[in-house]
Amino acid sequence: MPARFSIACLLPASWHFSFSPAGCPRVLNTTLRQLVMISALVAILFLLIYSLLLVRTKYSRTSRDKKYIRYLAHVTDMDATDTSNPNLNYGMVIDCGSSGSRIFVYCWPRHNGNPHDLLDIKQMRDQNRKTVVMKIKPGISEIANTPERASDYISPLLNFAAGHIPREKHKETPLYILCTAGLRILTESQQEAILEDLRTDIPVHYDFLFSDSHAEVISGKQEGVYAWIGINFVLGRFDHIEEEDDAVVEVNVPGSEDKEAILRKRTAGILDMGGVSTQIAYEVPKSVSFASSQQEEMAKNLLAEFNLGCDAHETQHLYRVYVATFLGFGGNAARQRYEGIIYASTMEKNRLLGKQVGMSPDAPYLDPCLPLDIPDKIQQSGQTMYLRGTGDFQLCRRIIQPLMNLSNETQTTLNGIYQPPLPYHNSQFYGFSEFYYCTEDVLRMGGDFNSARFLRAAKRHSAGSLPWKPPTLAGCLLRLQPLSLLGLLHGGPPLHCALPTETQTHPPSHAAQYIILCFVGRARTAALWASWPSMRSWPQDPAQLSLSAGRKGLIYSPSTRV
């Protein structure tokens, strides 16, 4: 007698199934209608499972990682650069920042002739497959009083690059020296004296393609535009829509507001904090209305419009980008302001109350922004003030809040500077430099930024419950406070701090390459623009450029827009 078994489930009692291995399943007490309903339930269950798997694949970290690696592979090459290839071109950019100067060496083959393609620019790699990058400290502004030493200061970087670039290529290798906030804080006469020494001495000692216009102090607006173009170039956001899951945005093309909006890839915004200044840049896809003529005039200085397409009349790659620089809101400058405030207030209280708080290690100033029981000291006016941490996160936050000079109803406009509306629901930001160093080095939270997780970790750090003891929370909070610009400390658009950390799925070598490409995105863009060796001069403001991809590389023509 064949064995039989029954399957019971939470269905009506009449829905009883009996299966026999000797033949096909027999359905007892089952009507055709019931069979149809069962089949429909099974189909719906299958569709639900399939949909869940599809959504998980689409939005999972693995999917994002694949897209990241795909874009990274497009702009990077892990092999050593073949310096014997006569078809390779080279270019150099020196980024003179406030805390130090770096030289980046790039290389690229001849343009493929397709007007829709950009040059295939990569960072040069030495025989050990390491990127050809070198940094020196301190910043070039340290020689403000001895500008005749500028070329001596920069020569270690040039000697380093000259040793990697084939000698026969030196004369056609463009060199750009871009100075940022480190020189912007000096007087114009000091800036010009330093630049003049570089322009005079470098051509005497080196054969690189270097003219007077190749050394300049770039504006905060230029710096923001360079960084914005750099990161979006790396991420492939200037490419045409390729996949269904590409994030897109509707754009009213500048100058064509009366025409139908176009659909293209959503670009990423950037937050870049150096030692002295902070930049924010993001695309403004929709036309902006202004509350007053004064606000409109202010906005004109903060909105850059430029064309990255191959045709000046083509609108697919016309971009309107908001760029703001906050001088004095860099990581080091913010920390110095904090130290100045607690020093001044403590000295005033000591004078009024006849106390000696902070004047000796035995009577330290109790600093809420230092982790619990961590000692520190600051130097002000030639005097040492001793500190000891109390780890009071909330008090620390209240102390530093006024330093941001936030304004407007939502307290998200830094220093009273105009900021156009930000589409939180469809935005993505990348935070570089100090944003990454703070979240990763202090809190071990580099990568995707989560405001709730960050605040919890910051509180644990201030209470001394983290396994490592970095010196200060104030510096970290001051560095991250500009996130208020986006409401990121209280929710807001997604922020990614510099790059995924090595604990994620990206190889460390790729991660290191990504830091370099994104940290000085402006340098990468400058290398793009330097690709035509016969070029000698550039407009002062990249917002006035219209870039075109020709057979000899990227060429420029003045834009009609301001």
What is the spatial distance between Cα 215 and Cα 557, in angstroms, rounded to a whole number? 20
* Report for 31-35, 376-380, 445-449, 539-543: range of highest mean pLDDT: 376-380
Binding-site residues sit at 275-279
Amino acid residing at 436: Y
Is the separation of the CB atoms in 549 and 111 below 8 Å? yes
Amino acid residing at 551: R
Residue 137 has pLDDT above 80, yes or no: yes
Is the separation of the CB atoms in 467 and 371 below 8 Å? no
Is the separation of the CB atoms in 227 and 281 below 8 Å? yes
Task: Please report, rounded to a whole number, the percentage of residues in the chain having pLDDT higher than 70.
Answer: 62
What is the spatial distance between Cα 259 and Cα 463, in angstroms, rounded to a whole number? 57
Write down the catalytic residue from 223, 283, 339, 434. 223
Residue 544 pLDDT level (bands cut at 50, 70, 90): very low
φ/ψ bin of 59: left (φ > 0), alpha (ψ from -120 to 50), beta (otherwise): alpha
Query: What pLDDT is recorded for position 385?
Result: 96
Which of 5-14, 114-123, 127-136 has the weakest average pLDDT?
5-14
Name all contacts of 54-60 with Cβ < 8 Å and 24+ positions apart: 58/245
Does 494 sit behind a cis peptide bond, omega within 30 degrees of 0 on the bond before it? no
Computed over every residue of the chain, the mean pLDDT equals: 71
What is the rounded average pLDDT of the residues 63-69? 54
Radius of gyration of the chain (CA): 29
H helix runs in 292-392, sequence order: 293-300, 331-353
What is the rounded average pLDDT of the residues 102-106? 94
Which of 67-81, 205-219, 266-280 has the weakest average pLDDT?
67-81
Amino acid residing at 157: L
- pLDDT tens digits, one per residue of 24-63: 444 445 567 777 777 778 778 777 777 766 655 554 445 5
Question: Annotated catalytic, 244?
Answer: no
What is the rounded average pLDDT of the residues 422-437? 76
What is the spatial distance between Cα 10 and Cα 518, in angstroms, rounded to a whole number? 57
What is the spatial distance between Cα 159 and Cα 229, in angstroms, rounded to a whole number? 29
What is the rounded average pLDDT of the residues 319-338? 82
Query: What pLDDT is recorded for position 363?
Result: 95
Q: Decide: residue 150, CB within 10 A, 0-12 exposed, 13-18 middle, 19+ buried.
A: buried
Is the separation of the CB atoms in 435 and 334 below 8 Å? no
Tell me the CB-side half-sphere exposure of residue 426, using CA atoms within 13 A: 15
Residue 401 has pLDDT above 60, yes or no: yes
Domains of the chain are 1-33 (no CATH), 73-218+546-557 (3.30.420.40), 230-329+415-518 (3.30.420), 332-401 (no CATH)
Residue 201 has pLDDT above 60, yes or no: yes
What does DSSP assign to residue 233? H
Residue 21 pLDDT level (bands cut at 50, 70, 90): very low
H helix runs in 9-120, sequence order: 32-59, 61-75
Amino acid residing at 128: N
Tokens of 328: 């004095």
Binding-site residues for ATP sit at 275-279
Other CB atoms within a 10 A radius of the CB of residue 146 amount to 13
Closest C-alpha to 379, from 358, 348, 402, 404: 358
What's the first-to-final CA gap in the chain, in angstroms? 92
* Report for 17-26, 291-300, 445-454, 462-471: range of highest mean pLDDT: 291-300
Using alpha carbons, list the distances in angstroms from residue 381 to 141, 343, 366, 378, 384.
21, 10, 20, 10, 8
Using alpha carbons, list the distances in angstroms from residue 87 to 13, 62, 92.
80, 37, 17
Residue predicted with more confidence, 368 or 387: 387
Using alpha carbons, list the distances in angstroms from residue 64 to 404, 505, 515.
34, 11, 18
Residue 82 has pLDDT above 90, yes or no: yes
Place of tokens 């420029």: 556
Query: What pLDDT is recorded for position 4?
Result: 43
Residue 407 has pLDDT above 70, yes or no: no
Closest C-alpha to 445, from 476, 423, 481: 476
Is the separation of the CB atoms in 421 and 492 below 8 Å? no
- What residue ranges in 490-541 does DSSP mark as E strands? 495-497
- pLDDT tens digits, one per residue of 278-328: 888 999 988 777 777 877 788 888 888 888 766 666 777 788 999 988 877
Tokens of 111: 């343009």
